[in-house]
Homo-oligomer: A and B are copies of this chain.
């Protein structure tokens, strides 16, 4: 995608009905918007769910974003749409949560520093001090919450206070604590987790050890939205790599690191580019 010119991103979810595309396209035409990109999906054109991601060039609109937005409201109401309209270049604010493993964090920080990921990283949150040096190296605030069995609820409340109004997305970059209901519920479809197996294989703890024991010939990683059901949230992206009898558990862990960081970075990229829609426990991804 060439993004050298001004562009607005419009995303829509609603129940599918005749006339949606016409209504949206007419609206864009009336606003003198120029469609750059459009993707849509309907789970079933007869009363299924409809999803759309559209980028348009507003150069000729002659009015402000707010005015365009207001003009769209009647259409949104007519079709009971959830929608979002914002400059495509608007950076999302992404908090990263980590424990002790550094590979996903290093990868996200490098992609951010090199502008490959066009985001802001206002903070890193951890239940350990181990990776503070990385946060300092990249100049990102690092917040340490010493979570124990007894204080988890209290600590997560403090995290929520800290995050309040500051972030658009939370990335669990191998954060090894299970989040409580209040936390999960506070950021629906806005927490991305990386699981170190090709789900639904090896749900739960120690997937690499179990993969080794089972003798699988592939290992993988899965990026998904966090939900209360552990490892059961909507899958955004998965990938695998080959392993053989030559590989020890340590080899699996090492090879897995490369898959984990690639898969997580891809999912974060798609999310912040508004390419991912959630329908029930599944995702629609306009790659």
Per DSSP, chain A at the interface is mixed
A124 to chain B, nearest CB (A): 16
Any B CB within 8 A of the CB of A271:
no
- In the bound complex, do residue B248 and residue A235 qualify as a contact, i.e. CB atoms below 8 Å apart? no
Q: How far, in whole Å, are A200 and B202 apart by their CA atoms in the complex?
A: 8
A33 to chain B, nearest CB (A): 8
Any B CB within 8 A of the CB of A287:
yes
- In the bound complex, do residue A251 and residue B201 qualify as a contact, i.e. CB atoms below 8 Å apart? no
| Cβ–Cβ < 8 Å partners of A163 in chain B | none
A56 to chain B, nearest CB (A): 8
- In the bound complex, do residue A235 and residue B216 qualify as a contact, i.e. CB atoms below 8 Å apart? yes
- In the bound complex, do residue A42 and residue B36 qualify as a contact, i.e. CB atoms below 8 Å apart? yes
- In the bound complex, do residue B21 and residue A34 qualify as a contact, i.e. CB atoms below 8 Å apart? no
| Cβ–Cβ < 8 Å partners of A284 in chain B | 245
Other A-B pairs beyond A217-B235, A217-B238, A244-B287, 11, CB < 8 Å: A18-B33, A18-B60, A34-B46, A116-B254, A198-B216, A199-B201, A215-B234, A215-B235, A218-B238, A244-B285, A245-B285
Q: Footprint of B on A, CB under 8 Å? A: 1-2, 18-22, 24-26, 28-29, 32-42, 44-46, 57, 60, 102-103, 106, 110, 114, 116, 137, 198-202, 214-218, 220, 234-240, 244-248, 250-251, 254, 257-258, 262, 281-285, 287
A sample of 10 inter-chain contacts (CB < 8 A) reads A1-B248, A19-B29, A21-B38, A25-B25, A35-B42, A116-B254, A199-B214, A215-B281, A215-B283, A217-B236
